[in-house]
């Protein structure tokens, strides 16, 4: 899947979790950072690709991207597995502990969860693509839905652009319309 589809999927997943488990009172800083962390989580597994948007936009990103590509075992390997998710989770946890002194009222636990939801959504979305996802590394099996490879999505092609991306937007619009009062309540009473 492309970066924009992953980010849309990440924010959709976060929306579903927030609506089903409304947060207790959170500060605006926590809510904003959680959304940012969620979007970053949504594209993080693709740092194993030298052509990832993150690397493309950095001055020496091409070289760093290549380094990450070989360090993580190539595209769709370590960063696209439960093991990789656990490692990213640990790194994010350590980073948040390090940054806590300058983050004031931010609830770093919620920011961490938002990041992890983004990560998980990435792996779920990639499971629908032709390449599949090696969820169970070190078991070298790439899993995909549906099991027949030819029925899965090709990244960046018509099915993703004309069905998956608009489909995610439709889900977001449906969530917004059917949970409007609940959303309003969260924004008005739970964010300070």
Pick 46 or 107: Cβ nearer Zn ion: 46
* Least spacing, CB of residue 64 vs Zn ion, in Å: 18
Scanning 92-100, 125-133, 147-155, 169-177 for contacts with Zn ion by CB under 5 A, the matching segment is 125-133
Q: Give me the half-sphere count of Cα atoms (radius 13 Å) on the Cβ side of residue 2.
A: 11
Beta-carbon contacts of 55 under 8 Å, excluding residues fewer than 6 positions away, are 47, 49, 61, 62, 64, 65, 68
* Least spacing, CB of residue 2 vs Zn ion, in Å: 10
Residue 46 interacts with Zn ion (CB under 5 A): yes or no? yes
Using CA atoms, how far residue 85 sits from 27, 73, 77, 109, 120, in Å, is 27, 15, 11, 16, 8
SS (H, E, C) 43-69: HHHHHHCCCCHHHHCCCCHHHHHHHHH
Beta-carbon contacts of 50 under 8 Å, excluding residues fewer than 6 positions away, are 62, 65, 66, 68, 69
Yes or no: say if 78 and 47 are a contact pair by the CB < 8 Å rule.
no
Yes or no: say if 45 and 122 are a contact pair by the CB < 8 Å rule.
yes
Pick 26 or 52: Cβ nearer Zn ion: 52
**Residue count at the site for Zn ion (CB under 5 A)?**
3
Residue 126 interacts with Zn ion (CB under 5 A): yes or no? yes
* Least spacing, CB of residue 28 vs Zn ion, in Å: 31
Scanning 19-27, 28-36, 37-45, 113-121 for contacts with Zn ion by CB under 5 A, the matching segment is 37-45
* Least spacing, CB of residue 48 vs Zn ion, in Å: 8
* Least spacing, CB of residue 75 vs Zn ion, in Å: 8
Scanning 29-37, 58-66, 121-129, 159-167 for contacts with Zn ion by CB under 5 A, the matching segment is 121-129
Pick 113 or 122: Cβ nearer Zn ion: 122
Scanning 14-22, 45-53, 172-180, 182-190 for contacts with Zn ion by CB under 5 A, the matching segment is 45-53
DSSP assignment letter at 191: B
Residues that bind Zn ion (CB under 5 A): 45-46, 126
């Amino acid at each position: 899947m492309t970066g924009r589809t992953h980010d849309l999927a990440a924010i959709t997943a976060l929306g579903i979790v927030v609506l089903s488990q409304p947060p207790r009172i959170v500060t605006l800083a926590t809510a904003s950072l959680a959304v940012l962390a969620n979007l970053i989580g949504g594209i993080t597994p693709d740092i194993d690709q030298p052509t990832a948007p993150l690397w493309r936009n950095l001055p020496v990103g091409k070289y760093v991207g290549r380094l990450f590509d070989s360090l993580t075992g190539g595209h769709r390997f370590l960063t696209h597995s439960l093991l990789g998710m656990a490692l990213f989770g640990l790194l994010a946890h350590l980073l948040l502990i390090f940054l806590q002194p300058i983050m004031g009222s931010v609830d770093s636990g919620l920011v961490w969860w938002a990041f992890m939801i983004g990560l998980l959504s990435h792996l779920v979305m990639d499971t629908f693509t032709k390449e599949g996802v090696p969820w169970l590394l070190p078991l070298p099996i790439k899993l995909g839905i549906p099991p027949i490879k030819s029925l899965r999505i090709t990244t960046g092609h018509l099915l993703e652009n004309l069905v998956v991306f608009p489909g995610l937007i439709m889900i977001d619009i449906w969530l917004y319309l059917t949970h409007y009062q609940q959303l309003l309540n969260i924004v008005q009473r739970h964010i300070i």
